[in-house]
Each structure stands twice: as C-alpha cells, then as structure tokens.
C-alpha cells in the first residue's frame, strides 16, 4: 500500500547556509503553495535590506531571530501540492546546536531531502544529518547538490558529491538514493529543466518528489493500539452500559471479531466493535483514531497496549536503546528521568552507557561516562513500570520514546533495540 492519500512527508536537512530555506521558498512559489501577501511581504522585506525581487528564504524563515541572522532555528512545517501529490515539508535547522530539531522532523518523515553545497561537498553536519535520518528509519534520500551556479555547473562537482554520499549511506546499511544537481537561487532543475547542465538527463527535483514511491510500512506491521482514554459515557438508549477504549491505530489493522491481547496484563479477549464519529466500522487501519469495544470487562487504562494475539509486542523493564542527546545538560548515569513511550509515562534511569558513536568515522567510542549535546550513544535503561514495545527497527511508532528531566525539558529521543 502506498502512502495514505498520496501524501509525501519529507524533511530537509544539510549544513547551515546550504540553501534549504531558499529551495523550499522557491518550491512553494512555483507550485502556488504561497499566498500572494506572503510573496509581496518577502519582496518588501528584501527591498528593505537593499535587494531586488523576492528572497525565497524569507517565506520560510518565520522567526525574527532567523530573519536577522539569515538562518533557520525552528522546524518550519510547510504544505504544498501538485496535481500528482500532496507534500508536507519539515525544514530542519542546519546549525549543530539545533540538531535536536532534525530528530523531531525526521521521526515522522518518509524521505530525507539532503542539501549539499556544490562548493564544499559533504561536511560534518551533512554527515550528521544523513546519519540521524537513517538512524530514525528513513530509507529514501534525495540529495540536492545545490549552488551549481557557483561552480559553473561543472559535472565533476556533482559526481564527486554523489559518490561520497552513496559511500557514506552504504556504510550505514544502505538506502534508496536519488541525486539531482540544482541551483535554488537561479531555479535550475528545481521545478523545470535547465539548459546549463546538458550532461544531466534525469528528472527535476519536483519530478523526483512527485514520483518517488514510499510504501506505508505501518499498514504492513502487526496491529498495535496504545490506549489513550477509557470512554464511559452516561447511559443512553442503545448504549446502556458502554465501555470503550479510545486511541489511534499506530500500525496494522483490526477487524470486529479479531482476537487480541491487552498488555502488560496479558488478558485475552475479542474486539466486538469499532466506533468513530462517523459511525461503526468493520475494520480500522493504521493512522485512524477509533474507539474499540471488547467482549470482556477488563482492567484496561491509559498506557496499556491492545495488540494482535499471534505477534504481540514485548513487555520490558530493561532494554538497550540508542539515544540522541539534545539537552545542554550532560547525561549522567543513574539520574532519574521521565520516559514517555506511546501513551505511557514511566520513571526511568540510565544504568549504563555502552558507547558513543562518532558520526564522522562511524566508530564506537568507549568507555564513556557521559553524553553531551548532540551526542549519539547506546545506553541501557531501566524503568519502574513495564513498557510495551517493539524494536525501533521493526516499528517506529512503538519503538521510539523521549526522556524528560525534572524540569520538564525533553533531553533525549530514543530508539529501543533488539534484546
């Protein structure tokens, strides 16, 4: 099954000043994804600074601090559409101190659009962003080799970067890679072909985005339903004693009559109804929010997981995980944190740091006693209550979590590993 509704979610990333905001601004304008007042506002702002015409980056750099510095700080979500597909863009920052924002955007994306400056090639942040995107489960990369106008559109710059990026991703385990040379500023090969690069005969960037096929893996996985709320409305005609379990199907599908298991209690029962605002369903699929009714009156609450019986998830109080540490405060062993996983919140401690990963060399560094901002490391976590989970490599929705400190600040994003 292809992506629901033919919507492609992609994150943009790359080194600071590689031209991400300019590229997105051009895409929005040339696909009629920007309002006229936004375009006029960007023109006026550019003229105020002494420029002429439109500065495309001003359409996406929405925060005052971003505009004054000419960088992107927050994750800017934008939407546009063509006759072939709808798109959701997450413009992630390029500065190293904002790598945490890339973790946010990549965790829900299907494709990573990596921009690389043709003059500089792959830099540390280019590698870091590509690694994080791959770590978070993205297996489709579009490499836009930008600013080709500044290297006189020479093919050798494109070929060298294409080779370097492919070699790097192959070392991570491989992925589908599509490369295109562009000039976001001049418009070459963004939405239209270019006569200045006759040596390139492939599709434009927009054509790549329109045609790339990404299977919606969540539909193919086993059924997982984290319970958000228990619905017990007042008695009414037709519903004298209604008890339902509200939530979102995060993977797989469920039909009325299916046998399920409730975890962590391991109670077994049968689905008797699937209720929505639009009426009753016989079957529900991944990404749908529904209320399930069960044949038995069980003790089920928020944070419990209703799953298919043949292949249930794991119930664990200790596991290995890969952490992307995003806090300015260092991670120290045996410090207490709050772990949020699907709809469940539990107390947790980091009992061991196994190693830290060097993003440039892909080597594991150990022994390690702490993790600092933007470090990626493997740790062992213990929780006070059981967590119902799958390995992140199997199911992104039930394998990911965040850690929160005592000040209620998010300090890390984590991915649960196999036993």
User: What is the spatial distance between Cα 253 and Cα 273, in angstroms, rounded to a whole number?
Assistant: 14
- The CATH homologous superfamily to which domain 314-416 belongs is Translation factors (2.40.30.10)
pLDDT at 75: 62
Higher-pLDDT residue of 17, 147: 147
Domain with CATH 3.40.50.300 in the chain: 4-215
pLDDT at 65: 39
User: What band does 15 get if pLDDT is binned at 50, 70 and 90?
Assistant: confident
For the ranges 54-68, 262-276, 335-349, the lowest mean pLDDT is seen at 54-68
Q: Bridge-partner residues for 254, per DSSP?
A: 284
Q: What burial class does residue 334 get, using C-beta atoms within 10 Å of its C-beta: 0-12 exposed, 13-18 middle, 19+ buried?
A: exposed
**Looking at residues 192-214, what average pLDDT do you find?**
96
- pLDDT at residue 311 greater than cutoff 80: yes
For the ranges 142-156, 193-207, 311-325, 360-374, the lowest mean pLDDT is seen at 360-374
As a whole-number percent, the residues of the chain with pLDDT over 70 amount to 91
Which of the following CATH numbers is that of domain 219-308: 3.30.470.20, 2.40.30.10, 2.160.20.60, 2.60.40.10? 2.40.30.10
**Looking at residues 258-274, what average pLDDT do you find?**
97
Helix/strand/coil for 264: coil
Model pTM score:
0.83
pLDDT at 310: 84
CA 190 to chain centre: 23
> Mean pLDDT across the chain, nearest whole number?
88
- pLDDT at residue 325 greater than cutoff 50: yes
Helix/strand/coil for 77: strand
pLDDT at 200: 98
User: What is the spatial distance between Cα 84 and Cα 289, in angstroms, rounded to a whole number?
Assistant: 27
pLDDT at 70: 41
Helix/strand/coil for 140: strand
User: What is the spatial distance between Cα 283 and Cα 274, in angstroms, rounded to a whole number?
Assistant: 7
User: What is the spatial distance between Cα 82 and Cα 348, in angstroms, rounded to a whole number?
Assistant: 46
The residue among 263, 249, 252 whose CA lies nearest residue 292 is 249
- pLDDT at residue 61 greater than cutoff 70: no
User: What is the spatial distance between Cα 264 and Cα 219, in angstroms, rounded to a whole number?
Assistant: 23
- pLDDT at residue 218 greater than cutoff 60: yes
User: What is the spatial distance between Cα 215 and Cα 231, in angstroms, rounded to a whole number?
Assistant: 34
**Looking at residues 15-31, what average pLDDT do you find?**
86
- The CATH homologous superfamily to which domain 4-215 belongs is P-loop containing nucleotide triphosphate hydrolases (3.40.50.300)
**Looking at residues 174-202, what average pLDDT do you find?**
96
The top-scoring range by mean pLDDT among 41-45, 59-63, 89-93, 142-146 is: 142-146
- pLDDT at residue 385 greater than cutoff 80: yes
- pLDDT at residue 72 greater than cutoff 90: no
- pLDDT at residue 67 greater than cutoff 70: no
Residue with token string 């992104």: 396
Phi, psi of 241 (to 5 degrees): -150, 60
> How many CA atoms lie within 13 Å of 170's alpha carbon, on the beta-carbon side?
6
The span from the first CA to the last CA of the chain, in angstroms, equals: 30
**Looking at residues 296-304, what average pLDDT do you find?**
94
**Looking at residues 11-39, what average pLDDT do you find?**
84
Residue with token string 């009992």: 351
Residue 389 neighbours by CB under 8 Å, 6+ apart: 313, 314, 316, 319, 341, 398, 399, 416
Whether the Cβ atoms of residue 407 and residue 338 lie closer than 8 Å to each other? no
User: What is the spatial distance between Cα 366 and Cα 375, in angstroms, rounded to a whole number?
Assistant: 13
- pLDDT at residue 353 greater than cutoff 60: yes
**Looking at residues 80-108, what average pLDDT do you find?**
77
Domain with CATH 2.40.30.10 in the chain: 219-308, 314-416
pLDDT at 97: 54
- pLDDT at residue 3 greater than cutoff 70: no
- pLDDT at residue 71 greater than cutoff 70: no
The residue among 248, 253, 259 whose CA lies nearest residue 294 is 259
The residue among 72, 78, 139, 137 whose CA lies nearest residue 108 is 137
User: What is the spatial distance between Cα 297 and Cα 127, in angstroms, rounded to a whole number?
Assistant: 52
The residue among 75, 71, 88 whose CA lies nearest residue 16 is 71
Write the DSSP symbol of residue 363.
-
pLDDT at 405: 93
**Looking at residues 91-103, what average pLDDT do you find?**
63
**Looking at residues 283-293, what average pLDDT do you find?**
95
Count of Cβ atoms closer than 10 Å to residue 49 Cβ: 10
**Looking at residues 138-154, what average pLDDT do you find?**
97
Write the DSSP symbol of residue 218.
G
pLDDT at 299: 92
């Amino acid at each position: 099954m292809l992506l629901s509704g033919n919507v492609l979610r992609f994150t943009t990333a790359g080194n600071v000043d590689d031209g991400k905001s300019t590229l997105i601004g051009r895409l929005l304008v040339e696909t009629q994804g920007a309002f006229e007042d936004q375009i006029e506002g960007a023109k006026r702002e550019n003229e105020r600074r002494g420029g002429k015409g439109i500065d495309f980056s001003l359409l996406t750099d929405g925060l005052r601090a971003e505009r004054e510095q000419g960088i992107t700080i927050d994750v800017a979500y934008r939407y546009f559409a063509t006759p072939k597909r709808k798109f959701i863009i997450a413009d992630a920052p390029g500065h190293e101190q904002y790598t945490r924002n890339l973790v946010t955007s990549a965790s829900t994306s299907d494709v990573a659009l990596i921009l690389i400056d043709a003059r500089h090639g792959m830099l540390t942040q280019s590698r870091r962003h590509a690694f994080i995107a791959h770590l978070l489960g993205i297996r489709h990369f579009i490499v836009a080799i930008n600013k080709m106008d500044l290297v006189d559109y020479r093919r050798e710059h494109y070929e060298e970067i294409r080779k370097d990026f492919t070699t790097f991703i192959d070392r991570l385990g491989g992925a589908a890679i599509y490369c295109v040379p562009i000039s976001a500023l001049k418009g070459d090969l963004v939405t239209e072909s270019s006569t200045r690069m006759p040596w390139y005969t492939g599709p434009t960037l927009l054509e790549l985005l329109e045609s790339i096929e990404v299977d919606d893996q969540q539909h193919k996985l086993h059924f997982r339903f984290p319970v958000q709320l228990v619905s017990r409305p007042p008695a009414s005609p037709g519903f004298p004693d209604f008890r339902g379990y509200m939530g979102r199907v995060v993977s797989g599908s469920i039909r009325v009559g299916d046998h399920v298991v409730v975890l962590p209690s391991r109670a077994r029962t049968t689905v008797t109804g699937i209720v929505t605002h639009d009426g009753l369903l016989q079957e529900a699929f991944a990404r749908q929010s529904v209320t399930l009714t069960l044949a038995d009156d069980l003790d089920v609450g928020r944070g419990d997981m209703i799953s298919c019986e043949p292949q249930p998830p794991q119930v664990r109080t200790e596991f290995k995980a890969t952490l992307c540490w995003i806090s300015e405060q260092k991670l120290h062993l045996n410090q207490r944190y709050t772990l949020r996983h699907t709809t469940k919140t539990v107390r947790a401690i980091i009992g061991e740091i196994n190693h830290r990963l060097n993003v440039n060399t892909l080597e594991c560094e150990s022994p390690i006693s702490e993790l600092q901002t933007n470090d990626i490391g493997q740790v062992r976590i213990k929780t006070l209550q059981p967590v119902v989970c799958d390995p992140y490599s199997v199911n992104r929705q039930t394998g990911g979590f965040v850690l929160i400190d005592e000040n209620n600040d998010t300090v890390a994003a984590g991915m649960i590993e196999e036993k």
